[in-house]
Structure 1
Amino acid sequence: MRTFLTSLTTGIEAKFIKSSELEILRVLEQIRAVTKYKNRYYLNDGFVCGKLDISSNGTGFLYPYDSKFKQDLMIENRDLGGAHFGDIVLAKLTKFKKPRQKAAVVAVLLMANETSVVYTKKIGSVIMGVTIPNSITIALKASQKSLKELPLDTVLKINNLDNDIVEVLGVLSDANVDQKISMALYNKREIFPKIAINEAISFGNEVDKSMYPDRIDLTHLPFCTIDPVDAKDFDDAIYFDKNTNEIYIAIADVSEYVSPYSGIDKEARFRGFSIYFPHIAVPMLPRELSENICSLKPNCDRLAFAFKICLNSNLEAIKEELISCIIHSKRRFNYDEVDSLINGEFECQNEIKEWITPLFNITQKLKEKRLKNGFDFHTLELRMSLDENGNIKSTKFESSTPSHSLIEECMLLANKAAAKRVNKGIFRNHEPADFNKINALLDDLNLLGISVKPTSDLVSMIAQIQAKANELNIREDVDKLIIKAQKRAEYASVSRGHFGLGFELYSHFTSPIRRYSDLILHRILKAQDDAKLTNYLMLGIDELCANLNVLEREADKVAWDFMDRKFARFAAKNIDKIFKCYIYENSNQTIARLDDEIKGARIFLDNFTCDLLTPVMVKIIEVDIPTAKILGKVVEILDV
């Protein structure tokens, strides 16, 4: 959408306009905002397209897609024309008045969301809605009599077209409303359509091998799965034949059950990804599939799409065979068990133990070889535990362990092997970092005592940074800064390489239960001998990749928003208490991270600036539950 609207400022030929953009073009033609000249469409003078932001006082700010505008455009509340936060709109410039240009919304070209989330608040004698999270007060399409029957602070989902109430989600005082708010903010749903559920149930609970005579039977091989202790769905299983140096990476064959444009497929395409909360996962596929017939559960025959990769003595893949098969996982391990097994502290059946340790040794050599061109980031993942009332019980940071590394290297092998088989399809690209961001990173690191000369060889330079961070014992924190300075990995139909991993070709093949991208790749790989089917699957692939990038970011935001809400409830119970923190961000707004018994909460600090990672003691002074924002005041700067 943005590319199309931006191109209208310089002109776009009719033949390059996608079918999905024609409807927007017709709207622009009807309101005479575009002109066709020599088969090219141009946006008329006085009109501007862009994305709308709205402040808490109701004033709008338009971020134009036209590069000639060096500043956002102000839109008075009366000129918003019913547009909402995040909408892509067409606006008309109004009479210029210093100090800034103003505009008025003419049309909403693409709604950011069909619904919004509000809570009820009494203003004078009237019950109004206050939007979450940007605190804009709006009138609701409901009688005051019915609104006054609801408790104040009732959380509602409303239709953005007319502010009609769609659903009552709960009340702000109930911690169990947090998940509903986080999901509704990004238009996510937990309940599956009936058609998708019925399709999933129709596949039953068991795989009958006799029904799949064309599949290779690998049920005799001692595959196993390795996942978190609380995992419910198992995408991948592995086996290593140490006699032939062949690694088997078997992935749940979701594409066998989910056909294009079926009820399940439409819902999976809408969701894009599974969403993981501390207490529950909201799956991309119905649980009848994700936790049952598709899941590579132990002691069950299951359909799989597997790579058998043979390595030579230099750990180069000399043969990568992709096979449709049936496997029978002999054991479901969690990461802790495999860590203990690698260390010789855990006993299991001999047939698996005999190959796990040799495979681990090989994967460590593969990792060492990979890191000559890629990066190794020591990131800590925040884990939150909740009590029975939905409040924080504890938090902790988890780091990668040998078992994580073993699985990661196996999955990288399969993902890389899959990418080699596709000319155009779906790739996972990671472009090199922007040098402006790298220079800003170097400035921040210099304040931390890490001085490195800028160089065009980013791999070597980042390795130097990490080595110095190790010496100062701040590796995890510095790695976070390095990651923030890099571009985000994204999906695209053509390969542009993966900078972070150091791979020329890379895709996502190994998680079709929880990522729609992987399911699409499975279909493309299976259709490679059928040109007609391949062309069918490739219809709209660019638009699909772009949409998956949006859905991936949204899935992350939902999970982060939920955790912020839990942190806000914790902070609200600890007003005026002092906690140990460290400075996490100091650019536009200084933000501290809680680093006490409870860890990870963001605390916003006003009128304070300090170097990154500086340890501080912070008093919690105010908490806003609807926006999940915690305000604090530094009372002491600690010695490093």
Structure 2
Amino acid sequence: MRAFLNSLTTGLDGKYAKSSELEILRVLEQIKAVSKYKNRYYLNDGFVCGKLDISSNGTGFLYPYDSRFKQDLMIENRDLGGAKFGDIVLAKLTKFKKPRQKATVVAVLQMANETSVVYTKKIGPAIMGVTIPNSLTIALKASQKSLKELPQGTVLKINNLDNDIVEVLGVIDDPSVDQKISMALYNKREIFPKIAQNEAISFGNEVDKGMYLDRVDLTHLPFCTIDPVDAKDFDDAIYFDKNTNEIYIAIADVSEYVSPYSGIDKEARFRGFSIYFPHIAIPMLPRELSENICSLKPNCDRLAFVFKIKLNSNLEPISEELLSCIIHSKRRFNYDEVDSLIKGELECQKEIENWLIPLFELTQKLKEKRLKNGFDFHTLELRMSLDKNGDISSTRFESSTPSHSLIEECMLLANKAAAKRVKKGIFRNHAPADLKKINDLLNDLAVLGIEEQYDGDLVTMIAKIQVKASELGIREDIDKLIIKAQKRAEYSSNCTGHFGLGFEFYSHFTSPIRRYSDLILHRILKAGDDAKLTNYLMLGIDELCSSLNILEREADKVAWDFMDRKFARWAAKNIGQTFKCYIYESGNQTVAKLDDELKGARIFLNNFKSEILTTVRVKITDVDIPTAKIMGKVVEILDV
């Protein structure tokens, strides 16, 4: 959308506009915001397009897409024209009065959300809706009599077009409403449409080998799965033939069950990704598929798409065969069990142990070779546990272990092999960090005692930084800063390489149960040389990639928002208490992160500036449950 609207400033050739863009152009023509000259559309003087922000007092701020505007534009509340936070709008400039330019919203070109989440609050004599999370007060399309019958703090989903109540989610004081709020904020749903549910049920629970005589039967091989202890959907299984140096990476063959434009497919495309909360997973596919017939469960025949990759003595692939198979996983491991097996502390079936230990040794060599061109980050994933009331019982950081590394290297092999098989499809690209962010990173590191000069070779430079960080005992913290300085990996129909991994070709092939991108890639690979089918599958691929990039960020935000809400409820019970923290951000707003018995909560600090990673003791001063914001003040700087 941004690229399309930007092109109107220099002239957009109408024949290259998509159907959705042509609809917007017709609207802009009707309100005389664009002019057409020699089949090119130009935005008329006095109009500007951009994204809308709205402050808690109701004042709007438009961030123009046109780079000629060096400052955001102020929009008075009366001039918002019903536009909501995050909407992409067309605005008309009003007479310029210092100190800043103002504008009036003319049209909403793209709504950020069809719905909003509010909670009811008595303001004066009336019951109003207060938006979550930006605390705007709005009048609801309901009688005051009916609103007064609701408990104070009732959480509602409302239609953004007319503020009509769509759904009652719960009450803000009830911890069980947190998941509903987090999902509603990003327009996510838990229940599957009836058509998708019925399609999923129709596939049954078992695979009959007799129905798939054209598939390669690998049920005699001792495959196994390795996943988190609480996993319910098993995307991948592995087997290693140490005599031939061939790794088999078996991936659930979801495309056998989910046809393009079917009910399940439409819902999977809408969701894009599975969402993982501490207590439950919201799957991309109905559970009848994700946790049953598609899942590579132990002691069950299952359909799989298998890469059989043979390596030479230099660990280079000399053949990468892709097979439609039937497999039979002989064991379901969790990561801890495999770590114990690697250490010699656990026994398992000899037919698995005899190949799993040699495969681990092989993958460590693969990793060592890969890191000559890519990065190795020591990241800690925050894990939260809840009690029966839905409140936090504990938090912990989970780090990568040898078993994680074993699986990762196998999946990387398959993802690379898949990417090399398609010229245009769906790739996972990662661009190098820009120079400004690298310079900002080096400045932050200098404050922390790590002096390094930019020399153009980012891989070598970052490796040096990591060595120094390890010597100082702050490797995980420094790795977080390095990751923040880099660009985000994204999906695209064209391959531009993956900078972080150091790969020329890379895509996502190994998780079709929980990522829609992988399902699309499976279909393209199966199409092979069938140009007609490939073209059919590629219809709208660029729009799909853009959509998946947004949906991926939203899936992350839903999970983070949920944890923020749980932290806020914990903090509300601990106002006035002090806790050990470290400074996480130090810009316009200083943010500390909890690093006590509980870890990970963000605490916003007023009137305090310090270098990042400074250890401090913070008193919790205030908590706002609806916005999930914790406020605090530093009472002591700690020496550690």
Q: TM-score range by the shorter chain?
A: over 0.9
Residue 296 of structure 2 aligns with which residue?
A: 296
Kindly state the Cα deviation for residue 18 of structure 1 after the two structures are TM-superposed. Answer: 1.2
State the one-letter code of the partner of 2:81: G
Residue 171 of structure 2 aligns with which residue?
A: 171
Encode CA deviations 1:299-338: one digit per residue, 9 max, x unaligned: 0000000100000011000000000000000000000000
Residue 499 of structure 1 aligns with which residue?
A: 499
In the alignment, structure 1 segments of 5+ residues that lack a partner are: none
Give me the whole-angstrom Cα distance separating, in 1, the residues matched to 2:114 and 2:62: 20
State the one-letter code of the partner of 2:639: D
Encode CA deviations 1:362-409: one digit per residue, 9 max, x unaligned: 000000000000000000000000000000000000100000000000
Residue 352 of structure 1 aligns with which residue?
A: 352
State yes or no: 1:139 paired with 2:139: yes
State the SS of the aligned residue for 1:151.
coil
Residue 600 of structure 1 aligns with which residue?
A: 600
In the alignment, structure 2 segments of 5+ residues that lack a partner are: none
State yes or no: 1:249 paired with 2:264: no
Residue 525 of structure 1 aligns with which residue?
A: 525
State the SS of the aligned residue for 2:162.
coil
Residue 192 of structure 2 aligns with which residue?
A: 192
State the one-letter code of the partner of 1:508: H
Give me the whole-angstrom Cα distance separating, in 2, the residues matched to 1:237 and 1:144: 58
State the SS of the aligned residue for 1:169.
strand
State the one-letter code of the partner of 1:47: F
Give me the whole-angstrom Cα distance separating, in 2, the residues matched to 1:440 and 1:455: 15
Residue 630 of structure 2 aligns with which residue?
A: 630
State yes or no: 1:53 paired with 2:53: yes
Residue 480 of structure 2 aligns with which residue?
A: 480
Residue 213 of structure 1 aligns with which residue?
A: 213
Give me the whole-angstrom Cα distance separating, in 2, the residues matched to 1:201 and 1:28: 46
State the SS of the aligned residue for 1:8.
helix
Encode CA deviations 1:79-98: one digit per residue, 9 max, x unaligned: 00000000000111111111
Residue 76 of structure 1 aligns with which residue?
A: 76
Give me the whole-angstrom Cα distance separating, in 1, the residues matched to 2:66 and 2:441: 29
Give me the whole-angstrom Cα distance separating, in 1, the residues matched to 2:563 and 2:99: 40
The equivalences for 1:604-619 within 5 A come to 604-619=604-619
Kindly state the Cα deviation for residue 454 of structure 1 after the two structures are TM-superposed. Answer: 1.2
State the one-letter code of the partner of 2:319: K
State yes or no: 1:424 paired with 2:427: no
Give me the whole-angstrom Cα distance separating, in 2, the residues matched to 1:23 and 1:270: 22
Give me the whole-angstrom Cα distance separating, in 1, the residues matched to 2:416 and 2:200: 30
Kindly state the Cα deviation for residue 455 of structure 1 after the two structures are TM-superposed. Answer: 1.2
State the one-letter code of the partner of 2:115: T
Encode CA deviations 1:157-215: one digit per residue, 9 max, x unaligned: 00000000000000011000000000000000000000000000000000000100110
State the SS of the aligned residue for 2:10.
coil
State the SS of the aligned residue for 1:499.
coil
State the SS of the aligned residue for 2:167.
strand
Give me the whole-angstrom Cα distance separating, in 2, the residues matched to 1:26 and 1:183: 34
Give me the whole-angstrom Cα distance separating, in 2, the residues matched to 1:453 and 1:87: 42
Residue 586 of structure 1 aligns with which residue?
A: 586
Residue 284 of structure 2 aligns with which residue?
A: 284
Encode CA deviations 1:44-83: one digit per residue, 9 max, x unaligned: 0011110000000000000111111000000000000000
Residue 569 of structure 2 aligns with which residue?
A: 569
Kindly state the Cα deviation for residue 620 of structure 1 after the two structures are TM-superposed. Answer: 0.2
Give me the whole-angstrom Cα distance separating, in 1, the residues matched to 2:67 and 2:440: 24
State the one-letter code of the partner of 1:141: K
State the one-letter code of the partner of 1:509: F
Kindly state the Cα deviation for residue 588 of structure 1 after the two structures are TM-superposed. Answer: 1.9
Kindly state the Cα deviation for residue 22 of structure 1 after the two structures are TM-superposed. Answer: 1.1
Give me the whole-angstrom Cα distance separating, in 1, the residues matched to 2:216 and 2:233: 23
Percent identity reads 85
Residue 160 of structure 2 aligns with which residue?
A: 160
Encode CA deviations 1:275-303: one digit per residue, 9 max, x unaligned: 00000000000000000000000000000
Give me the whole-angstrom Cα distance separating, in 1, the residues matched to 2:372 and 2:280: 38
Kindly state the Cα deviation for residue 15 of structure 1 after the two structures are TM-superposed. Answer: 1.7
Residue 85 of structure 1 aligns with which residue?
A: 85
State the one-letter code of the partner of 2:563: M
Residue 442 of structure 1 aligns with which residue?
A: 442
Residue 33 of structure 1 aligns with which residue?
A: 33
**TM-score of the superposed pair, with normalisation by structure 2:** 1.00
Encode CA deviations 1:572-593: one digit per residue, 9 max, x unaligned: 0000000000000001210000
Which deviates more, 16-25 or 460-469?
16-25
State the SS of the aligned residue for 1:497.
coil
The equivalences for 1:228-377 within 5 A come to 228-377=228-377
Give me the whole-angstrom Cα distance separating, in 2, the residues matched to 1:464 and 1:453: 10
Give me the whole-angstrom Cα distance separating, in 2, the residues matched to 1:639 and 1:231: 41
Kindly state the Cα deviation for residue 153 of structure 1 after the two structures are TM-superposed. Answer: 0.5
State the one-letter code of the partner of 1:200: A
Kindly state the Cα deviation for residue 20 of structure 1 after the two structures are TM-superposed. Answer: 2.2
Encode CA deviations 1:597-629: one digit per residue, 9 max, x unaligned: 000000000110001101000000000000000
Give me the whole-angstrom Cα distance separating, in 2, the residues matched to 1:314 and 1:589: 51
State the one-letter code of the partner of 2:347: E
The equivalences for 1:382-397 within 5 A come to 382-397=382-397
Give me the whole-angstrom Cα distance separating, in 1, the residues matched to 2:246 and 2:295: 24
Kindly state the Cα deviation for residue 529 of structure 1 after the two structures are TM-superposed. Answer: 1.9
Runs of 4+ in 1 over 6 A off after TM superposition: none
Encode CA deviations 1:430-481: one digit per residue, 9 max, x unaligned: 0000110010000000011100011100000000100000000000000000
Give me the whole-angstrom Cα distance separating, in 1, the residues matched to 2:348 and 2:71: 64
Give me the whole-angstrom Cα distance separating, in 1, the residues matched to 2:636 and 2:462: 33
Residue 558 of structure 2 aligns with which residue?
A: 558
State the one-letter code of the partner of 2:312: N
Give me the whole-angstrom Cα distance separating, in 2, the residues matched to 1:312 and 1:341: 26
State yes or no: 1:95 paired with 2:95: yes
State the SS of the aligned residue for 1:562.
helix
Kindly state the Cα deviation for residue 267 of structure 1 after the two structures are TM-superposed. Answer: 0.2
State the one-letter code of the partner of 1:112: A
Give me the whole-angstrom Cα distance separating, in 1, the residues matched to 2:272 and 2:614: 39
How much is the aligned-residue C-alpha RMSD, in angstroms? 0.5
Kindly state the Cα deviation for residue 216 of structure 1 after the two structures are TM-superposed. Answer: 0.2
